[in-house]
Structure 1
Amino acid sequence: MGENVQVKWTRAFQHLETLATACDEMRGLPLPVTQLWVFGQFLESPADLDSVHVALAVDLPEVPWLSAPAGASHWANATRMARNPFTPVWRSARAPIWNHFVVRPALVWDASEGVLSDALTAIRDEKADRVRIAAPGTEELRARLDDELAISLAAMRSRVSAYSEKRWSPGKLEPVADDLHAVTSGYLDILDARR
């Protein structure tokens, strides 16, 4: 999607349904996606929007905030998520899906249950509040941000080391630099959210 291109809410909903179905069909891909959540403006009102915010839970111990696990771009292409109006964030299935940015999401697909048609129906009927999770309390959110900050700091240190090793070696530096940029951006975002 180009910049400043709005998508009709009903079309965005169709894209979400298609992505939920694609999640079900792509269970065999190497990246173990276990859940698809939707959040943000899309759940607030049926207005035109730039993109649909989705959170993808993957069966990995940790996914630093604003980074993408190995295989994420291939998964996004295979499911056509990359070609449609989605803004994805990748999350570990072993931690809460929510944080300061992923606020009151609604689960629309789960690896064990498949497409959650009741949730999609509630969203389509403008009754998303029925299927959204409750917002965490202040202390719970603070603890979550502390955990994410520690994960992001460890990832940033690891990526700095990888960048230093690769910097003067043969081969492309861009993938290593992009990864370092993503985890650093995530770390700074969480640091700002904790203030």
Structure 2
Amino acid sequence: MDADAAKANLHNYLKHEREAVVAKLDGLSEYDVRRPLTVTGTNLLGLVKHLATWEARYLGEVFGRPFPEPLPRWDIEADRLADMWVAEDESRADVVDRYRRVWAHGDATLQALDLDATGRVEWWGDAEVPLFNVLVHLLAETSRHAGHADILREEVDGAVGTDAEAMAADGHDAAFWADRREQIEAAARAAG
């Protein structure tokens, strides 16, 4: 596979994962996209904000193409986790629209640079890293958080799938999932 084909393939996977994360917000109330669903406060809209922040850094700052809007700082303790949750004065539309602007900015970086172009990742010890490594890292991070979003969304209302259409067309009712959960619980108890 040549470098252009490899870049296109990785980029397509990234695009899919981006959309999968945003789709997890579909049909939920403002409360449900913002409410903390883990001990550490992880929430759906916070994941979107976090991904926007870090994609802007990885496909912006790292390659001397800074995203034109301010970002929470990673190197100032008070700001360090500000990208993981959404304050009441930040709208869902603003967070999602910003993520989409970050996509456009990142896509422009990917179009402009070859996979062997290097950038400096300050938070990796100021390492000089090729775009290929950064793109693979970003894809892994986005996929990881898409998995978090899958579980968070399932916790909120039982919806599963990688996009809004799949979530709606799952075909299994609450009774099916209750029976399945009980079967798994029984197996866990028997093994324990």
Class of the TM-score when normalised by the shorter of the 2 chains: under 0.3
Q: Which fold has the larger relative contact order, with Cα–Cα distance below 8 Å and residues 6 or more apart in sequence?
A: 2
Higher helix share: 2
Larger Rg: 1 or 2?
2
Higher strand share: 1
Give the structure-1-normalised TM-score: 0.26
Give the structure-2-normalised TM-score: 0.27
